Structure 1
Amino acid sequence: MVSQQFRKQLKWQKGFDWSGSADYQSQNPNRKRGSNTMISKKTSIIVLCLLLGWTGYASATDFDSVAGEVSRLHDQALSDQKQQDIDIDKERKQLLDKIEKLQRTVAKQEESLNAEKAEVASLAEERDRLQSEIGSRLATKEELDNIFLDHIRNFLSLVEKSPQASQKDQLLGTLKSYLEGERIFSLEDLKSLIGMYFDDIKSGAENVRYTAKILDRRGEEQEADIISLGHIEALFTADKDNGFLLSSPGSGRLIMSADPGFFTSREIAAFFNGDKTTAPLDISGGVAINQLSRKETVKDRLKSGGVLVIPILLVGLIAIIIVLERVTFLSRVRSNTDALMTEVTHLVSEGNYKKALETTRPHRNRPTGKVLMVGLVHKGETPEVIEIAMSEALLSQMPRLERFLVTLKVLAAVAPLLGLLGTVTGMINTFQVITIHGTGDPRLMAGGISEAMVTTQVGLAVAIPIMMAASFLGTRVKNLARDMEEKGIALMGALLKHKCER
């Protein structure tokens, strides 16, 4: 009976769902599984305790009373469970409302966050744009500052080189103050600079005459009468000394330039005296005046060419001697052969050969006279013999006439070759200097370059006149040879004509 009732009790317990009230869970699908699990575990523990207690005391207690107790406890548990379900539903509703409220809040916060993100992105874009604009303006400002400083430096350089620099201490001080340290230039500085420009332009168009102390060529102070021709130049006259004035870059004081020469000095004196309304100008900004102190004599120029200038000059000297000798000789042997030939022809036509021979005798040392004498000596011979004799006489005179002409041509070729040799030597020296000292100081290379250029210049200067002289002398020799030939043929014709007439 006990086992039968226990089976009924187990059957009833099967309908209870030990897993936590499956029927109730199926009827309330939205209920949280965590709460059902807690209640099912609690109910299962109670039932198990009762079962264990019941099995322990089954022999002493009536099963029906136990079953009633269990039923009561079951009902109590179901009542508690229903109450808990009500509380849970209420709490769940509250939580759902809270969740919904939180979701609305989250949605609003997300919307606000998205708006703020968009605003941040817009602000970032604005920041980048402003940074780019600031960078561009800073670069423009830096460029404008550099341009401003360049103008100040150029202006300062012009003022320092101006003959009026000694009278513009305030302007020089203002310009130098702009270049000292870091300075932020303003629009007022630009206006001030423009004003200084216009003032300087105005003063540059004025000719001012005044008396001041200058430094002479020995570095001593001397009072002089000065005329400032704008920014172009300044002229002075002092103690019968006239010339140009230069501005010292360091102190701004006026210094006498090198002696400009007799004619220029006389023009400056006439300008001071009012005899002339024009004055010599140096429009190069002082470069031409500075060159006055760097005048090179012929000796200095030749010395800069090195040792190879000496053989070139010797070639020129030898050529001069040869040319003078040849010109003298050719002038001496050339005579008025037309008059001589007319007289000889007239005497031959009369048959007076002895008189004709005596007429040519004084000209025997001249080429044409020698040829005529040979023709008259062979007057009785056949025409062929006469022609051969005169040709031989003509050829015998040619070495005298052409003497040293080949030497002149050789010298004309040697002179430029020596100049070329000097050019190569000078360039070799220049490259050696570059190898040792580099190209930092051009003055170190000036010696080799000067040697290279001067030797070529001297070589050409010697060779060109020699070639012209050789050509001139060669032409003179050709003219003499043609004259001898012409007069020989004329004499031969006169001899043959006289023979035919006899």
Structure 2
Amino acid sequence: MFEIVKAGGIVMVPIILASIVAAAIFLERLWTLQGRRVVPAELTDKVWKWVEQNQITDKHIQALQQNSALGKILAAGLANRHRDRAIIKEAIEDAGRHVVHELDRFISTLGTIASVSPLLGLLGTVTGMIKTFNTLSTAGAGNPMALAGGIAEALITTAAGLTVAIPALLAYKYLRGRVTTLVVKMEKEAIKLVHAIEAGAVV
């Protein structure tokens, strides 16, 4: 493996670094974006129990804020439960924007890696072909072994760039889809809360 990396030349260094960063981002986001961590089912049940029994207090709201992404959104609505509907919605939407920003963290970087990796591979292809033509100009075409280094560099970096880019792109699309699903679930719970407040169920 080391010989292959060595044959790929200097461009292999950023490609390998990109692969490490992409893997780290994917694993970290995979852990962070678990449904039970972002939209815990027991939290929803607990909040509606408080609502039904009119037990909402500042202590409950503070606990919600520290619980999860959904908890932050519900806490924003409950903290403004005595105010106008427009203000409640604005508070929920503002909290939602912050939550979505947190959920999206690093995912754009993963998309950038997916876009840049093939270009790094292409750069390696160009440098490899330049090396090949330099060899041709100095040693001629009589020695195939002299040309092999440049050709190997071109092929290895192209393959390495695509090997990083394809999984990174798939991971990017998967994480984007997961964030969208979680946001939809949180929106549904937030709408339920607004309706409950309008109905006078939350005091």
- TM-score, length basis structure 1: 0.38
Name the CA distance, whole Å, in 1 between partners of 2:27 and 2:40: 23
Gaps of 5+ in 2: none
**Which one of the candidate residues 2, 10, 31 is aligned to 1:307?**
10
How far apart, in 1, do the equivalents of 2:77 and 2:95 lie?
A: 9
CA change 1:456–1:464 in 2 (3 A) is same
Provide the residue aligned with 1:361 in structure 2. 63
**Shift of the alpha carbon at 1:478?**
1.7
How much has 1:365 moved relative to structure 2?
4.2
Answering whether residue 172 of structure 2 is matched by residue 479 of structure 1, we say: no
CA distance in 2, matches of 1:499, 1:312: 56
In 2, distance between residues paired with 1:361 and 1:337? 14
Distance in 1 separating the partners of 2:63 and 2:10:
53
Cα deviation, residue 363, structure 1: 5.7
Matched, 1:344 2:8: no
Answer yes or no: is 1:407 the counterpart of 2:109: yes
How far apart, in 1, do the equivalents of 2:87 and 2:61 lie?
22
Q: Which amino acid aligns with 1:460?
A: L
1:422 matches 2:124: yes
Matched, 1:318 2:21: yes
Deviations for 1:167-218, whole angstroms, at most 9, x for unmatched residues?
Answer: xxxxxxxxxxxxxxxxxxxxxxxxxxxxxxxxxxxxxxxxxxxxxxxxxxxx
Whole-angstrom CA distance in 2 between matches of 1:336 and 1:476: 12
Cα distance in 1 for partners of 2:87, 2:79 equals 11
Please tell me the residue identity of whatever aligns with 1:326.
R
Name the count of aligned residue pairs: 203
| Equivalent AA in structure 1 for residue 93 of structure 2 | S
| Structure 1 residues 354-412: Cα deviation after superposition (integer angstroms, max 9, x where no partner) | 39x62872563411001111111111112211111111111121221111111111122
Query: What amino acid does structure 1 have at the position aligned with 2:104?
Result: E
Measured on the aligned residues, the alpha-carbon RMSD in Å equals: 2.5
Which structure exhibits the higher relative contact order, with contacts defined as CA atoms closer than 8 Å and separated by 6 or more residues? 2
Does the 8 Å CA contact 2:11/2:121 hold for their aligned counterparts?
yes
> For residues 412 and 328 of structure 1, do their structure 2 counterparts lie closer, same or farther at Cα, with a shift above 3 Å needed?
same
Partner of 2:34: 331
Candidates 145, 163, 186, aligned match of 1:443: 145
- Tell me by how many angstroms 1:487 deviates: 0.9
Letter in 1 for 2:13: I
Q: Normalized per residue, which structure has more helix?
A: 2
Deviations 1:426-470 (A, max 9, x none): 111112222223322322211111010000011111111211222
Structure 1 position 346, deviation (Å)? 3.7
Match of 2:193 among 475, 488, 491: 491
Q: Which residue of 1 aligns with 2:88?
A: 386
Q: Aligned with 2:8: secondary structure?
A: coil
What's the TM-score, normalizing by structure 2? Answer: 0.87
